[in-house]
Chain A
């Protein structure tokens, strides 16, 4: 009994939308010329559709209302307003908290420690498992290659690999990267963008050289990090 009252209240409030919408739709006005049967059919379908639409909206509004803890009045307009206020509040809270977090992050010294730890662990693991660094390139078709690289896992090594690919003018079609025991396996199907076909051995050479320079670079940064 009360739910119907509520529904009728809400429907009453929504009836203006209905009036507005049927003006633009092919609904009632045009079909005055058609058969009575067609008219009634369309009318009832339209009515049902409209009822369903209104029901959908009111259900969602109820859900919204249930989420917002502070509600003032219980009509459609104020629930929207209350939701807006609540969202603003939550945004403010999250901003305050994130600023607090940033502050704390700035003053803490924990992040410096893990770098050296990781690297030692990684080198140790890889040697233990007998994983060797590797560069393997195979030609699939014309300008397409399959590149497989096993490298010691370090911070930012993936970025360096992708940069290397870009430098060589390769576009990565399918890429797959896995890590295990301090080693990273990079496997990618690439194709050259720049038209000129490179030879497999050439590519392998270039890649090995790049990896060596990567290693040197990363080692120097570690040393720098240690002295700090």
Chain B
């Protein structure tokens, strides 16, 4: 304990609280010990070497924090973060007090932090963490120059730790404003309203938590335990959320939780890829435009000679070095058709499988013409109950079509034709 007090890196005050709440005499704190052992040894080392403090603290705790975060982030945070709310609140208050009053040095450190590292003031107010986390006491900055407290806050930012107290602050604020008493409405409209508003998302969710709490309080007589009501509400709530997640995904498959999460994971990856692709395209486009603009002003006479505008970018001041290879892969599935679109650089490979009813080849090729895709190779035909085709195409120079658009349009066209065709005979005219 003495070591901790001296180093000031680990708050002994909160350690005892930890123990109380955990109810485990030595289990969790020993965990803390193990986790922070390295950091503590470092800081105790630093404590005795004031001169090196600034240098050492600059590097090592930073590294240690990051190491700790990357290796066992969950194991350390979860015990603390899944604790009861009152614990957090009480410590939040105590911590809140510290930067503002306790010592002028702490305030100076905080001010220095604010000046040295501008995003920190917001972070400071947000990350009111329980004291038994890695957040070092501001006293540690006493040993370093006021200019280096940026080290103290940097690693925490990477942690993305949950901003618990402000959530509650917002909750308390949001309560009087248009707070609706929760009837037994668990309809989709309410759920839809909740998730549409991305900005106020957090506030809305805390409203729900409080709603659940409220419901528990004014529980009607007749229910044996109040727990059943909240538990059921919570379950229904959770199911609603899963359903909401399912609606966002373009082609959901099974309706069980694991598949919903799986679809969501795939969709997020797809969206990330699409965004990346679009950014590359926009950049290319912008470069191309700038280039053509410049060339137009340079030689207005040779506009007729289209071949020469094949750019000579030597010596261009703002030439874009777009050497990244664009690649993306998307899949779309519907009830009767499946589309797979892969783009590498300027070649697009499309696979299409559709239940045999109409020969969609005509519509697909029309769409490909529309999308300005140059057919290089087509292969496919009737396999059993299905039509399966593979298209190898090239994107015409200057066109900026992207995978998502192709896939969506294709599945759309194919589905529409399939639906429009009469069920018995197959006429593709």
Contacts and interface: CB of A to CB of B under 8 A. Distances in A.
Contact of B275 (A94, A114, A156): A94
A84 B288 contact: no
Nearest to B34: A1
27 contacts: A2-B31, A2-B72, A5-B78, A57-B258, A60-B261, A69-B160, A73-B167, A77-B234, A83-B245, A88-B248, A90-B271, A91-B248, A93-B275, A94-B278, A97-B278, A97-B279, A105-B285, A107-B289, A108-B292, A111-B399, A113-B306, A155-B374, A174-B382, A175-B361, A175-B380, A175-B389, A189-B381
A101 B245 contact: no
B377 to A, nearest CB: 6
B264 interface: yes
A61 B375 contact: no
Interface stretch (A23-31, A176-184, A210-218): A176-184
Interface stretch (B38-46, B57-65, B236-244): B236-244
B82 interface: yes
A221 interface: no
A48 B408 CA distance: 41
B306 to A, nearest CB: 5
Contact of A72 (B27, B162, B268): B162
B365 to A, nearest CB: 4
Contacts of A74: 77-78, 81-82, 162
Given A104-B286, A155-B374, 18 more contacts: A2-B74, A3-B74, A16-B231, A67-B265, A74-B78, A81-B205, A84-B201, A88-B195, A89-B198, A91-B248, A101-B278, A101-B402, A104-B285, A108-B285, A108-B398, A171-B426, A174-B381, A175-B379
B195 A3 contact: no
A177 B390 CA distance: 10
A221 to B, nearest CB: 12
Interface string B194-222: 01001001100100000000000000000
Interface in B67-100: 72, 74-79, 81-82
B264 A111 contact: no
A129 interface: no
A98 interface: yes
B264 A83 contact: yes
Contacts of B281: 101
B379 A77 contact: no
A198 interface: no
Interface of A: 1-3, 5-6, 9, 16-17, 20, 53, 56-57, 60-61, 63-64, 67-78, 80-81, 83-94, 97-98, 100-101, 104-105, 107-111, 113-114, 116-118, 155-156, 158-159, 162-163, 166-167, 171-179, 189
A191 to B, nearest CB: 10
B362 A57 contact: no
A57 B257 contact: yes
B386 interface: no
A81 B231 CA distance: 19
A101 B400 contact: yes
A68 B201 CA distance: 15
Nearest to B241: A80
A172 B359 contact: yes
B253 interface: no
B359 A179 contact: no
A113 B274 CA distance: 28
A156 B369 contact: yes
Contacts of A77: 205, 234, 237-238, 241
A104 B397 contact: no
Contacts of A89: 198
Q: Which 9 A-B pairs have the closest CB atoms?
A: A2-B75, A174-B381, A110-B398, A97-B278, A177-B378, A90-B271, A60-B261, A159-B365, A80-B241
B160 A113 contact: no
Nearest to A109: B292
Nearest to A189: B381
A105 B400 contact: yes
Interface residues of B, number: 84
Contacts of B160: 69-71
Given A57-B257, A84-B195, A90 B82 contact: no
B415 to A, nearest CB: 19
A9 B82 contact: yes
Contacts of B27: 1
Given A74-B81, A156-B369, A173 B382 contact: yes
B350 interface: no
B292 to A, nearest CB: 7
A97 B282 contact: yes
A26 B381 CA distance: 46
Contacts of B405: 98
Contacts of A93: 275
A103 B380 CA distance: 36
B285 A64 contact: no
Interface string B161-182: 0111001000000000000000
A45 B404 CA distance: 44
A97 B307 CA distance: 31
A78 B205 contact: yes
Nearest to B74: A6
A88 to B, nearest CB: 5
Interface in B384-429: 389, 396-400, 402, 404-405, 426, 428-429
B79 A85 contact: no
Contacts of B426: 171
A48 to B, nearest CB: 16
Given A83-B264, A88-B248, A98 B402 contact: yes
A84 B378 contact: no
Contacts of B389: 175
Nearest to A104: B285
B188 interface: no
Contacts of B288: 108, 110
Nearest to A16: B235
